[in-house]
Amino acid sequence: MEKRKIVVCDHLHPKAEEILSKEQDIEYVNAADVPKGEPLYKVIEDADLIITRSSTPVDKELLDNAKKLKAIVRAGVGVDNIDIDECSRRGIIVMNVPTANTIAAVELTIAHMLSCMRAFPYAHNQLKQQRIWKREDWIGNELKGKKLGIIGFGNIGSRVGKRALAFEMEVITYDPYIPPEKATNLGVKYTTNFDDILECDIITIHTPKNKETINMIDKEEIEKMKDGVVLINCARGGLYNEDALYEGLKSGKIKFAGIDVFSKEPATDNKLLDLDNVTVTPHLGANTIESQEKIAQGAATQALEAVRGISYPNALNLPIKENEMPPFVKPYLELIQKMGHLAAQVNKGAFKSIKVEAEGEISNYIDSLVTFGTVGALKESLGESINYVNAEFVAKERGIEILKGQKPESSGYKNRVTLTLTTDKDLIKIGGTIFEENVQRIVDINNFALDVEPKGKMILFKNTDVPGVIGEVGMILAKHNINIADFRLGRDKKGHALAVIIVDDEVSKEVLKELENLKACLSVSYAIL
């Protein structure tokens, strides 16, 4: 019997070895203590699958040496150490274990909340290290009756909300990507106004880290908060701007902060550590015995299923091999995913439906197009947790209708794909095609004919079609030193125009606000592809 080789590259709970070592068709190798680089490369050169954690960089160099590698399991959630694009190009499937640490992260959030309200770490240090008994130094506050604002009401945020209700707190959540009833059915208030969160006594964040959420709490947001607010971050470093957080804590505007994650880790020299109103932990979100055992068990089980070709649980990519489908298909799959991502950034709200349509020969691959389009649309709100295997299941679980349509004959284009995203606020319909040499193009947005490469930083500006608008837009961008790389304009028969402006520089909220205030502006949005 030919054995399949599984190599564990980093230290895992013994549960993984217990599962893998007893399988007769598996050659199990524990390489956790093998130095990274050439020594590890020799071990994995004939591996069918490897299991990693964050300390093994899965880059092009490693992949060049792993000549038989078919799949990778990341024992945990984050995959920052894995070059997923390079893996996809080589047909290597990447999986993670996304939910095993949920309860650990939830309970750590509650622990930080309690520590901030009662200053437990400081009272502990005074008594144990200084041997001082001064109860009067530690007058705290109770959770009961306090208003908790939860940013992001997914797998972790919703469970934090349930536990906060048990403390008899008033709980409100902001998450534009969920239907309101997901919160209200639990007894949690739902808001679409972010300022409602800023008025809370305690604020905790549980979102993926992406362009929309980085620095989501910054100086401007902190200024709007009530004096004495408590902030918690056990999700991702960088969701709170650390400079603004430091100033808010130093001034007393923020009474206390509980921080488990930092923009740069290890964070041994972070200036937040100098303050006396911060409780900190070194990224312990998944650090419980139960969580580590679940992660190890999940990783080992997924590895066995994948290496045997049974299934690929929590796959984050879908390998497309040139010899398995016509060469013209892959660019369309990439294009429809970008169109879904663009649609989700422009039409923000609780998703109602995602519809993918195809015309021409590409319509024979409608099921794959639907999967890629759904992943693109959901990636904006769900980040790493969405993948090609679970995309349609997650959509159905969230009450999102997945629709598809196909026409063998195409009108005007040899092949064309269209994605329509409907939310509780609006509808956006984007059409695209592939020109010669695999050039991807968006050719239509909400019936405005355009010719746009789906790439880079994009401002979508809709306005009444009157003289002088382009000049006004250009002046605002120039004032903020934003260089225009490309400018594409579409017009309709209703006296409206839609400009897609590709820029070289980041576009701030302030710039978008100035554009929105132009008299001719009907709507403005910003997206990055």
Q: 269 and 151: one domain?
A: yes
Q: 146 and 243: one domain?
A: yes
Q: Which member of 265, 401, 510, 516 is catalytic?
A: 265
Q: Above pLDDT 70, what percent of the chain? A: 97
**Range with lowest mean pLDDT among 55-69, 107-121, 186-200, 313-327:** 313-327
Q: What does the pLDDT look like over 7-43, one tens digit per residue?
A: 999 999 999 999 999 999 999 999 999 999 999 999 9
Answer yes or no: is 301 within a domain: yes
Q: Do 23 and 304 meet the contact criterion of CB atoms below 8 Å apart?
A: yes
Whether residue 480 lies in the annotated active site: no
Q: Which residue segment(s) compose the domain that 54 sits in?
A: 4-96+290-307
Rounded to an integer, the average pLDDT of 507-521 is 95
Judge whether residue 480 has pLDDT over 50: yes
Judge whether residue 294 has pLDDT over 70: yes
Whether residue 283 lies in the annotated active site: yes
Rounded to an integer, the average pLDDT of 493-513 is 94
Question: Sheet containing 439-445: which strands, arranged edge to edge?
Answer: 401-407, 351-359, 416-423, 427-435, 439-445, 448-452
Name the token pair of 383: 């980040």
Please say which residue of 399, 419, 448 terminates a domain: 448
Q: What does the pLDDT look like over 429-456, one tens digit per residue?
A: 999 999 977 899 999 999 999 999 999 9
Look-up of token digits 């437990």: 120
Name the token pair of 361: 């020969």
Answer yes or no: is 314 within a domain: no
So what's the pLDDT on residue 76?
87
Judge whether residue 54 has pLDDT over 90: no
Domains in the chain: how many in total?
Answer: 4
Q: Which member of 206, 236, 416, 488 is catalytic?
A: 236
Q: 83 and 110: one domain?
A: no
To the nearest whole number, what is the mean pLDDT of the chain? 92
Q: Which member of 283, 341, 416, 488 is catalytic?
A: 283
Rounded to an integer, the average pLDDT of 466-494 is 94
Q: 337 and 274: one domain?
A: no
144: domain CATH number? 3.40.50.720
Answer yes or no: is 158 within a domain: yes
Q: What does the pLDDT look like over 342-370, one tens digit per residue?
A: 999 999 999 999 999 999 999 999 988 99
Could you give the CA distance from residue 387 to residue 390 in angstroms, rounded to a whole number? 6
502: domain CATH number? 3.30.70.260
Count the neighbouring beta carbons within 10 Å of the beta carbon of residue 198: 19
Answer yes or no: is 178 within a domain: yes
So what's the pLDDT on residue 302?
94
Could you give the CA distance from residue 72 to residue 56 in angstroms, rounded to a whole number? 12
Q: Which amino acid is at 220?
A: E
Instruction: Report the DSSP beta bridge partners of residue 259.
Output: 233, 280
Query: For residue 456, what are the CA distances in angstroms to 317, 362, 377, 527?
Result: 22, 26, 17, 8
Q: What does the pLDDT look like over 143-187, one tens digit per residue?
A: 999 999 999 998 899 999 999 999 999 999 999 988 899 999 999
Whether residue 206 lies in the annotated active site: no
So what's the pLDDT on residue 27?
96
Confidence of residue 1 (pLDDT cuts 50, 70, 90): low
Q: 209 and 162: one domain?
A: yes
Answer yes or no: is 315 within a domain: no
Residue 521's nearest CA partner among 447, 464, 445 is: 464
Q: 166 and 272: one domain?
A: yes
End-to-end CA distance of the chain: 47
Question: 330: buried, middle or exposed (CB in 10 Å: 19+, 13-18, 0-12)?
Answer: middle
pTM: 0.75
Question: Sheet containing 254-259: which strands, arranged edge to edge?
Answer: 189-191, 170-174, 147-151, 202-205, 229-233, 254-259, 278-280
Q: 355 and 464: one domain?
A: no
Confidence of residue 322 (pLDDT cuts 50, 70, 90): very low
Judge whether residue 228 has pLDDT over 90: yes
So what's the pLDDT on residue 320?
54
Could you give the CA distance from residue 353 to residue 396 in angstroms, rounded to a whole number? 10
Q: Above pLDDT 90, what percent of the chain? A: 78
